[in-house]
Amino acid sequence: MINGNAARRMVQDLYRFNVNQLGVANDTISSVYVPKLNAGHVTVTLYEHDFSGGRFAQGAKKSFGSVGLFNLRDTGFDDRAHRPR
């Protein structure tokens, strides 16, 4: 189990900042894992971004609050992760 702050940093680092280091073709994210915490809970929120817009305008969002592994296609969320150029 992971404590709340460490879990948040881990998820942010992986899905927000280091998506280009996942080692999968075309930087595709097909699932998201919500960790179990020692105390409390964590909610992971993913946003679709328009990188052509100023300040990376946020589009649609999807939140995951239960512990487990979620397939993004099953939730209707676009699983393509785009990086700024």
Residue 50 lies in a domain: yes
Residue 85 lies in a domain: no
Residue 64 lies in a domain: yes
| DSSP assignment of 14-75 | IIII-GGGS-SGGGB--EEEEPPBSSS---EEEEEEETTSTT-EEEEEEEE-SSEEEEGGGG
Residue 67 lies in a domain: yes
The pLDDT tens digits of the residues spanning 64-82 come to 888 888 887 777 765 554 4
Tally the domains of the chain. 1
pTM of the model: 0.48
More confident: 61 or 63: 63
Residue 14 lies in a domain: yes
Domain that holds residue 23: 4-75
